[in-house]
Chains A and B, each alone.
Chain A
């Protein structure tokens, strides 16, 4: 336990290398964020443009969604980092548990309303 708890964390407990690493991480995060905004823009354009046929739009935005989801997980939720086995396990569990539930719900609610 560090003795100077009142100092900011970066001063009390981080080495120079760790600080550098955090800065690099920050750049990656911003890049990933910009990338996602771009993808979102694409999705908006695809939906808004009358020129683009719905037959193309729907698979296209679904694909974008999958890419975004992966980006989110890998970059924002740190799935790519080392020593993240536990969080990874939890996130994967979440996906494994919720995907069938969602698919089932979409299919089932389409069949029976009440």
Chain B
């Protein structure tokens, strides 16, 4: 990257990436880490579909299947989709609000490395007697000390660590969006992606804290002999379900809201129209966020909490359909009468709308308590949330990838391969998951590793598996596309290859490390579009050209993440039969590295550096 060569004259590339605090490079790190986890969890999905392809298959053992189910869900939600949305949030938010970086660049790097090492901690469970196998929801008592093996300790501590990283990053984004907006960028001129990211970050703060508490309780139960979830000693296993879903339902919105945001950027850009009903979109997002905390019991209808409670939560759940519907109609009206351009990004974004509607409809169906007794824990639920997670979030992320790729990497992705990928993915997706609705309705339970012949499930499972292979192939096409485009695509030198509307397209490509040589003055919603139409096609500066103050890179975030990894691993060693070294040494080492690095950061004065004026002028001339 051009930005990398501009700053370091004598450091190695690896060192540069390990110590970077630049939001654009962290975004690339998030993208790579998220993509790797995504591939890993995707491969597990393919293995599971091979196992389910025919009745009484013996490709995987039941135990391995359980481990795959658990790791697939856990990785996809916590370690693949979360970093992928963080990748876009990191890259896009500062550019869209006209800032030079996030509010706390150091914390940004810290969030990444803590997340990364937490993910690593969950992942190394394979080498120590097997992965967690109690489902991504880890219900007690299955996940408690009595039944859960060492894998569950990796689940508990790994998620605790990676959740910390997610929390710090979210706080950073909240502060960034509230405090770092360019002059004139009022809240009601904030691009919708920033709005949904803000709300997502708020949801993370309010939802990941209960998760951290729940995981801490489970850890106390498992490692330190606590009895929170043990009914024999006065504990209560249902408490875990409550805590988990108080986190869990907001979590699904944490993931889908940024996808909403991406769609709300891509659709106007390729409809050549402003977003229909901007204000309604903002308030719908707020209402969804609020309601998402009021519906968690819909995951527990069959626990037996009682008809009144179930009804209240059923109605609250159905209420979410209203703001969601507002959003759907706004996207449709944005496209209505627009000059539509169907490239890959727009294909993904526009097909997001109908698939998401299907997922929403089955969601409301699930919210009806009497029939949920039929649907619950069948493939119908699996189909429901995959319509949201794959047909919604994954398509949103693909749209975002194709849309922002030229800004991030300086060249476009190949369109032909892109559209091939889209169609394979889209057809494969519906093949895999539509038929699972029916499988669920005829009674196939979820999270089972096989089924009998003669139950009428063979053919449908085969179709589902073939669809899954198509989706897998589509992902391979995407990978080929990335490599192929890197070698063959034309470098982009213009600012705005899509003729888009928001501020990130006002920066030069490649984006210099300081983003904006002069902070822009924002005069309208869609400021870049406004200047193209009503102004002279350039952003008005809000300040004179001057030196720019930048933060220094630091290896400490990496060290803190590593320290937490070692610390967590030490705690897990307390449960091992014969650890090679005493666990206290490992725990101690982790604690010392973690807090030592924090100490170092506190006492070591580092005021960053200034980019001198002539250097800025030179860079600006080079890129424009």
* CB-defined contacts of B290 to chain A, threshold 8 Å: 96-97
Expressed in whole angstroms, the Cα–Cα distance for A104 and B210 within the complex equals 15
Given A97-B206, A101-B293, are A1 and B242 also a contact pair (CB < 8 Å)?
Answer: no
* Interchain CB contact under 8 A, B206 and A94: yes
Looking at chain B's contact residues, the main secondary structure is helix
Given A86-B178, A97-B290: A112 in contact with B238 (beta carbons within 8 A): yes
Residues of B within 8 A of A93 (CB): 202, 206
Report whether B306 and A113 are in contact in the complex, using a CB–CB cutoff of 8 Å.
Answer: no
- CB of A109 within 8 A of CB of B206, answer no
Contacts of A114 in B (CB 8 A): 231, 236-238
CB within 8 Å of A: which B244-288 residues: 246
Minimum distance in angstroms from A111 CB to a CB of chain B: 6
B63 at the interface (CB under 8 A from A): no
- Contacting A at CB under 8 A, from B423-448, are none
Of residues 287 through 346 on chain B, the ones whose CB sits less than 8 Å from some CB of chain A are: 290, 293-294, 296-297, 303-306, 309
Neighbouring B residues of A113 by C-beta, 8 Å: 231, 236, 238
Check B540 for interface membership: any CB of A closer than 8 A: no
Closest to A107 in B: B309
Q: When the two chains form their complex, are residues B238 and A109 in contact, meaning their CB atoms are under 8 A apart?
A: yes
Q: Is B146 an interface residue (CB 8 A)?
A: no
The complex places the Cα of A106 from the Cα of B299 at a distance, in Å, of 18
B306: chain A residues within 8 A (beta carbon): 111-112
- Chain A interface helix/strand/loop/mixed: helix
CA A114 – CA B140 in complex, angstroms? 11
A111–B238 CA distance with the chains assembled, in angstroms: 11
Chain A residue contacts of B605, Cβ below 8 A: 5-6
CA distance in complex: A90, B305 (Å): 31
Q: A114–B597 Cα gap in the complex (Å)?
A: 44
CB contacts (< 8 Å) of B549 on chain A: these are 1
The one of A90, A96, A98, A112 that contacts B202, using a Cβ cutoff of 8 Å: A90
The CA-CA distance from A97 to B309 in the complex, in Å, is 18
* Interface contact B206-A112, CB-CB below 8 Å: no
Q: Which residues of B contact A96 (CB under 8 A)?
A: 290
B361 CB–A CB distance under 8 Å? no
Q: How far is the CB of A8 from chain B (nearest CB, A)?
A: 12
Give a binary string over B192-231; 1 marks a CB under 8 Å from any A CB, 0 the rest.
0000000000100010000000000000000000000001
Structural contact, A108 and B305, CB atoms closer than 8 A: yes
Is A105's CB within 8 Å of the partner chain B?
Answer: yes
B618 at the interface (CB under 8 A from A): no
Q: Using an 8 Å CB-CB cutoff, how does the interface string of A71-108 with B read, 1 for contact, 0 for none?
A: 00000000000000010001001101110110011001
Min Cβ gap B147→A in Å is 15
Contact B303 A112 (CB under 8 A): yes
Bound-complex Cα distance A113 to B237 (A): 7
Interchain CB contact under 8 A, A100 and B178:
no
Contact call A112/B242, Cβ cutoff below 8 A: no
Residue of B nearest to A86 (CB): B178
Nearest-neighbour CB distance to chain B for A17, whole angstroms, equals 24
Write 13 A-B pairs (CB below 8 A) sorted by A numbering: A1-B549, A6-B605, A94-B206, A97-B290, A100-B293, A101-B296, A105-B242, A108-B297, A111-B306, A112-B303, A112-B304, A112-B305, A114-B231
13 A-B pairs besides A5-B605, A109-B239 with CB distance below 8 A are: A1-B549, A5-B607, A6-B607, A93-B202, A93-B206, A105-B239, A108-B238, A108-B242, A112-B238, A112-B305, A112-B306, A113-B236, A114-B237
- 4 nearest A-B residue pairs (beta carbon): A97-B293, A5-B607, A114-B237, A114-B231
